[in-house]
Structure 1
Amino acid sequence: MSIIAFPSAASARSENRPVRRSLLRLWLQRIRARRSLAALNPDQLRDAGIEPWRLRHEIRKPFWRG
């Protein structure tokens, strides 16, 4: 008869921390990038080749959507 060992809650939590940190970092990066895009004036948008409708679409996305 074999024994099934389940991971402890402490080890499961420690394994998820790097994932949570990287996910949080990604979300913060998206928030900052979308705020920076929203702050651009029309001339800067034109220079960057960003169309106004695409900008509106991007800055209206929630931070958890890529």
Structure 2
Amino acid sequence: MADPAELGISEFVANAVRHARGTVVRVIVDRPADDRVYLGVVDRAPNDLPQQQVSDPEAAEGRGN
């Protein structure tokens, strides 16, 4: 069974690599408390805000952008 933090960060990075413009992706991992982990991924497209989309419930992808 995968660690939830590992799974989350791998999904974030995969989305950034797939959808971001540019060649730089910054990964932020912080543990502010014993029971909390902060995960962040920043790409170099600061003017492109995420757009909410309706995904097909049967689709294997398309929920993270």
TM-score (norm 2): 0.35
Return the structure number with greater helix share: 1
Return the structure number with greater strand share: 2
TM-score (norm 1): 0.34
The structure with more radius of gyration: 1
